[in-house]
């Protein structure tokens, strides 16, 4: 294997800038690696060799001033990429080539990154294992018989398999962080509104947040700084300066957390984490205390209702957002035999194009929004969302960040949670509260349990993304990074 | 007692424009029942006087100046259409023959 695929994005950028290696060589090394290992991993739904080499050649011929010029990147297939297939891992969008770029993709291109291709995911980002992808699951590079997390399992697995040094994910209930945790990689969910949703195929608009995935905290921060910031094309984009996450990660890596207060959520304690996950988490907590941090127990009494609130709010928004897939303007159309009505064709198209989890959520959301149930379900969930936000605000009056395991269990074997959808939902128990609140959170590898990676989650106040990077980088400096067995 | 019946699921599927099969109805009804029973405890929270949060960013309408900006051409907008005619999206009939 070429050494180039083992390097961090920061290192690659430096080598390219210094003329030690060309962007084309770096792209070629990663494309060759994908060709060699992706038949086993299946992290990619589409590899754009031609586009990647052209973009790399352009960097070699021109401007290398951007901090990520020439660095390859994998993009979750939920982001619109002009002329490059974009399916959201659904049959309903098979073969669709968007006529425009998402804002984040536009910024990645402007920064001179080299897009290798589009990564696998649960269909429309609904799931925690990639088992709901219409194109087959992604296999975890740590153990090919286990899930890589979801929905962004392809992005996380592409990093762990050394197919890409950076990737883009999206996090609605944990879809960046949980895959990061179970693949031993770093995944950050920025403050909601801190990264643009323009061109992101919508699942739950009040929660969807694009963010960076990387193999270490400094790379994640660098990617964060390139993609974040106000976008007038997204009406919920925050018009404020992006916190200096790169400086925060650098400061954290110096390993001094003197005076930093870490909040341990009392209500998370009894929530069925595997013993190995808890052990790795507690050891990491001790490591942070050795760096000078102080641990304070805080109470967030409404966190226990976060999962129910999420599974009413997200399906409700999805049932509305996915109404656009009607077989008229793009994507699949089925059953148009010249005799059937528009409504019949629509129903047949959606039946053929959507997979089971998407259908379940559309039906659940339609139920929660229907008259007679609206107040008891959707309305009540929105009120509970207020109470969860207040829990966060009051906790952040006492501590700087909240910490927890990212997910209660390590990568599970395929098929073990698909028959009972609610068992799958439990994977997001610790990640969902942050989405309802809107603040930033990051998952950083903190140890192994039975040979599989465990993630440590740091949650910070809204627009204090820098704070989570500092703590995550400090932890990384203490516990190191984790390398999967060779493929 | 079931939180949701097979008939209700069939009705919701119709509202959602999903031509689900009989087999799917059986499966979804059971699964949705489990999910609904699990999320129903949201009703235990006393929240009558709590304002709802629809969104974590406290924004109202965001306006821009009313000036023409670059957008997709007609050909680009139609590029992914399953069917088109005369520069427009072509759809199956929307009215009955007699109407």
pLDDT band for B94, please (50, 70, 90 cuts).
confident
Residue in chain A closest to B61 (alpha carbons) equals: A235
Q: Which residues of A91-118 are buried (b: 16+ CB within 10 A; e: fewer)?
A: bbbeebebbbbbbbbbbbbebbbbbbbb
CA nearest B90 in A: which residue? Answer: A328
pLDDT of residue B93: 84
In this prediction the ipTM stands at 0.94
Helical packing angle, A49-61 and A23-41, nearest 10°? 160
**From B21, B31, B53, residue closest to A389, measured CB to CB:** B53
* Percentage of chain B exceeding pLDDT 70: 95
From A239's Cα to the closest Cα of chain B, the distance in A is: 11
Residue A407 lies inside a defined structural domain of this protein: no
**Band of residue B1 on the pLDDT scale cut at 50, 70, 90:** low
- pLDDT of the residue at B99: 46
Name the residue range of residue A179's domain.
Answer: 3-256
* 3-class secondary structure, A277: helix
Residue pair A114/A23 in contact by the 8 Å Cβ criterion: yes
- The pLDDT value given to residue B63: 87
Both tokens of residue A345?
Answer: 């064709």
DSSP result, A152-219: SHHHHHHHHTTS-SEEEEEESSSTTHHHHHHHT-EEEEPPTTSB--TTBPPS-TTT-EEEEEESSHHH
pLDDT of residue B97: 57
A159-174 residue pLDDT tens? 999 999 999 999 999 9
User: Would you say residue A271 has pLDDT above 80?
Assistant: no
CA–CA dist A357, A423 (Å, integer): 13
Residues ≥6 apart with Cβ < 8 Å to A313? A204, A206, A207, A378, A381, A382, A385, A436
Whether residue A40 is contained in a domain is answered as yes
Count of CB atoms within 10 A of residue B22's CB? Answer: 9
Q: Which of A367, A437, A439 sits opposite B12 (nearest CB)?
A: A367
A85 touches chain B (CB under 8 A): no
Give the distance from residue B68's alpha carbon to the nearest chain A alpha carbon, in angstroms.
14
* pLDDT > 80? residue B95: no
Query: Which parts of A252-380 are beta strand (E)?
Result: 261-265, 294-298
Domain presence at residue A59: yes
SS3 A458: strand
Answer yes or no: do A351 and B19 touch at CB < 8 A. Answer: yes
d(CA A212, CA A475): 18
Band of the pLDDT at A115, cuts 50, 70, 90?
very high
CB-nearest partner of A236 from B57, B64, B91 = B57
In chain A, which residues have their Cβ closer than 8 Å to the Cβ of B40? Answer: 308
Question: Annotated active-site positions of A, please?
Answer: 76, 151, 175
- Give the 3-state secondary structure of residue A263: strand
Instruction: Give the mean pLDDT of B41-56.
Output: 93
For residues A2 and B54, the model is more confident at B54
A214-230, pLDDT tens digit by residue? 999 999 999 999 999 99
User: Of 3.30.450, 1.10.20, 1.10.730, 1.20.58, which CATH number belongs to B6-42?
Assistant: 1.10.20
Asked if the bond preceding A151 is cis, omega within 30° of 0, the reply is yes
Contact B77 A312 (CB under 8 A): no
Asked if the structure places residue A313 within a domain, the reply is no
Token couple for A384: 């509970």
Burial tier of B52 (Cβ tally within 10 Å: 0-12, 13-18, 19+)? middle
A317 domain residue, yes or no:
no
Q: Do A277 and A410 touch, CB atoms closer than 8 A? A: yes
CA distance A6 to A215: 10
Scanning A436-465 for CB atoms below 8 A from B yields: 436-439, 462
CB atoms within 10 A of CB B30: 15
Distances (CA, A) of A260 to A165, A347, A357, A387, B27: 30, 55, 41, 26, 50
Nearest to A348 among B9, B19, B43 (CB): B19
Mean pLDDT in residue range A3-23: 97
Q: Are strands A441-449 and A452-459 parallel, antiparallel or unpaired?
A: antiparallel
Looking at the predicted structure, is the pLDDT value of residue A17 above 60? yes
Mean pLDDT, chain A, as a whole number? 96
Q: How does the average pLDDT of chain B come out, rounded?
A: 91
What are the tens digits of pLDDT across the range A24-38? 999 999 999 999 999
A320 and chain B in contact, CB less than 8 A = no
The stretch B50-56 carries a mean pLDDT of 92
The 10s digit of each residue's pLDDT in A150-160 is 999 999 999 99
Q: Is A435 helix (H, G, I), strand (E, B) or coil?
A: helix
- Hey, is the C-beta of B57 within 8 angstroms of any chain A C-beta? yes
Q: Which of residues 74-93 of B touch A (CB under 8 A)?
A: 76-77, 79-83, 89, 91-93
Q: Looking at the predicted structure, is the pLDDT value of residue A453 above 70?
A: yes
* pLDDT above 90 (res A272): no
CB atoms within 10 A of CB A44: 23
Asked if A347's CB is within 8 angstroms of B19's CB, the reply is yes
B60 or B36, greater pLDDT:
B36
Mutate to test the interface with B, among A81, A330, A356, A367 (most CBs of B within 10 A): A367
Greater model confidence, A91 or A3:
A91
Residue A357: inside a domain, yes or no?
no
* Chain B environment of A197 (Cβ under 8 Å): none
Phi, psi (rounded to 5 degrees) for A312? -105, -45
pLDDT of A465 over the 50 cut: yes
φ, ψ for residue A443 (rounded to 5)? -110, 130
Which of B27, B62, B76 has its CB closest to that of A99? B76
CATH of the domain at A119: 3.90.1300.10
Digit-coded pLDDT (tens) for B12-39: 999 999 999 999 999 999 999 999 999 9
State residue A463's pLDDT score: 97
User: According to the model, what pLDDT value does residue A161 have?
Assistant: 98
- In a domain? residue A294: no
Mean pLDDT for A114-129 is: 98
Which positions 110-169 of A are in contact with B (Cβ < 8 Å)?
Answer: none
Q: Which of A199, A364, A387 to mutate to test the interface with B (most CBs of B within 10 A)?
A: A364
Q: Number of structural domains, chain A?
A: 1
Instruction: Note whether B50 contacts A387, CB cutoff 8 Å.
Output: yes
Residues of chain A found within 8 Å of residue B42, distances taken between Cβ atoms: 305, 308-309, 312, 377, 380-381, 384
Q: Say if residue B83's pLDDT is above 70.
A: yes
Is the CB of residue A422 less than 8 Å away from at least one CB of chain B? Answer: yes
Asked if A311 reaches chain B (Cβ–Cβ under 8 Å), the answer is yes
Could you give the CA distance from residue A135 to residue A130 in angstroms, rounded to a whole number? 9
Contacts of B55 in chain A (CB under 8 A): 206, 236
d(CA B13, CA B25): 9
For residue A326, what pLDDT band results from cuts at 50, 70 and 90? very high
Q: Is the pLDDT of residue B96 over 70?
A: no
SS3 at position A276: helix
Confidence of residue B62 (pLDDT cuts 50, 70, 90): confident
Whether chain B has a CB inside 8 Å of the CB on A336: the answer is yes
- Report DSSP state, residue A413: B
From residue A300, alpha-carbon distances to A222, A306, A388 in Å are: 32, 11, 8
Question: What pLDDT is stored for residue A436 in this prediction?
Answer: 98
């Amino acid at each position: 294997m070429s050494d180039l695929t083992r390097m961090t994005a920061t290192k690659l950028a430096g080598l390219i800038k210094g003329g030690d290696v060309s962007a084309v060589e770096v792209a070629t090394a990663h494309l060759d690696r994908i060709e060699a290992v992706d038949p086993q991993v299946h992290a990619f739904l589409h590899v754009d060799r031609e586009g990647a080499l052209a973009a790399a050649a352009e960097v070699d011929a021109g401007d290398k001033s951007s901090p990520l010029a020439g660095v390859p990147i994998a993009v979750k297939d939920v982001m619109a990429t002009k002329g490059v297939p974009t399916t959201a891992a659904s049959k309903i969008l098979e073969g669709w080539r968007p006529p425009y770029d998402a804002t984040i993709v536009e910024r990645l291109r402007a920064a001179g990154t080299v897009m290798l291709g589009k990564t696998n995911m649960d269909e429309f980002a609904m799931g925690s294992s990639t088992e709901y992808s219409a194109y087959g699951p992604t296999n975890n590079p740590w153990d090919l018989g286990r899930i890589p997390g979801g929905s962004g399992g392809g992005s996380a697995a592409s990093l762990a398999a050394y197919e890409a040094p950076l990737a883009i994910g999206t996090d609605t209930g944990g879809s960046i962080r949980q895959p990061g945790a179970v693949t031993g990689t770093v995944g950050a969910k920025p403050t909601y509104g801190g990264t643009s949703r323009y061109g992101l195929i919508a699942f739950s608009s009040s929660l969807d947040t694009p963010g960076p995935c990387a193999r270490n905290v400094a790379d994640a921060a660098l990617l964060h700084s390139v993609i974040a910031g106000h976008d007038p094309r997204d009406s919920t984009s925050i018009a404020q300066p992006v916190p200096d996450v790169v400086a925060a990660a650098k400061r954290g890596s110096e390993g001094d957390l003197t005076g930093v207060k870490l909040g341990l959520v009392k209500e998370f304690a009894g929530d069925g984490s595997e013993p190995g996950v808890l052990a790795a988490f507690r050891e990491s907590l001790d490591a942070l205390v050795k760096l000078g941090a102080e641990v304070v127990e805080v109470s967030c009494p409404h966190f226990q209702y976060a999962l129910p609130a999420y599974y009413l709010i997200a399906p409700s928004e999805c049932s509305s957002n996915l109404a656009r897939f009607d077989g008229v303007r793009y994507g699949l159309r089925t059953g148009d035999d010249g005799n059937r009505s528009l409504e019949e064709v629509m129903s047949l198209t959606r039946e053929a194009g959507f997979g089971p989890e998407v259908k379940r959520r559309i039906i659940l959301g339609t139920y929660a929004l229907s008259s007679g149930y609206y107040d008891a379900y959707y309305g009540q969930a929105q009120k509970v969302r207020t109470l969860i936000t207040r829990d966060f605000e009051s906790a952040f009056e006492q501590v700087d960040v909240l910490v927890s395991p990212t997910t209660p269990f390590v990568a599970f074997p395929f098929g073990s949670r698909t028959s009972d959808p609610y068992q799958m939902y439990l994977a997001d128990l610790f990640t969902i509260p942050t989405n309802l609140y809107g603040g930033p959170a990051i998952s950083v590898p903190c140890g192994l349990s039975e040979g599989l990676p465990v993630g440590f989650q740091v949650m910070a106040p809204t627009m204090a993304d820098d704070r989570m990077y500092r703590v995550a980088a400090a932890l990384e400096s203490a516990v190191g990074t984790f390398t999967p067995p060779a493929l | 007692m079931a939180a949701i019946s097979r008939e209700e699921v069939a009705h919701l599927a119709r509202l959602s424009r999903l031509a689900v099969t009989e087999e799917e109805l059986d499966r979804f009804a059971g699964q949705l029942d489990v999910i609904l029973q699990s999320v129903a405890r949201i009703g235990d929270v006393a929240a009558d006087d709590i304002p709802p949060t629809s969104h974590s960013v406290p924004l109202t309408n965001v306006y821009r100046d009313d000036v023409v900006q670059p957008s997709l051409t007609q050909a680009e907008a139609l590029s992914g259409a399953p069917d088109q005619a005369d520069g427009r999206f072509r759809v199956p009939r929307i009215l009955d023959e007699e109407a």
